[in-house]
Amino acid sequence: MARAGRRGYFASRWHGDVPAAVLLWRDILALGTLANLVVTFAALFMLSQGVHLAVAAAVHLSPLPYNAFLVAAFWRSPQRTTITGAIAVVWLCLMTLA
């Protein structure tokens, strides 16, 4: 088994090597929200430039697998509480719909 410090970004989150608080507050709420905002603005810009709606929608939804991964990794954490789990799920819903 690899040492915790030697795992990659995704493996360290999936295997619980990253503290739940860091995963929720930094990775999900801060970085995930920022990434979603950037992609949403890019999709809106594409629409304003006449790019086909399907292409802009695909760009807008492109972070969805990453978002689902972050929430699933957080959900696996034994440090997760009911409140923090609800925060993560609500965030995923908002990022999917917005």
HEC per residue, 9-35:
HHHHHHCCCCCHHHHHHHHHHHHHHHH
Look at residue 93 and tell me if it is in a domain: yes
Look at residue 8 and tell me if it is in a domain: no
Domain extent, residue 68, equals 19-97
The stretches of the chain forming alpha helices (DSSP H) are: 9-14, 20-21, 33-48, 53-61, 64-76, 82-97
Total domains in the fold of the chain: 1
Look at residue 7 and tell me if it is in a domain: no
Q: What pLDDT is attached to residue 78? A: 92
- Has this prediction a pTM greater than 0.85? yes
- Mean pLDDT value across residues 53-58: 97
CA–CA separation, 56 vs 54, rounded Å?
6
Residue 3 has pLDDT above 60, yes or no: no
Q: What pLDDT is attached to residue 6? A: 76
Q: What pLDDT is attached to residue 84? A: 97
Look at residue 64 and tell me if it is in a domain: yes
Query: With pLDDT > 90 as the criterion, what percentage of the chain qualifies?
Result: 91
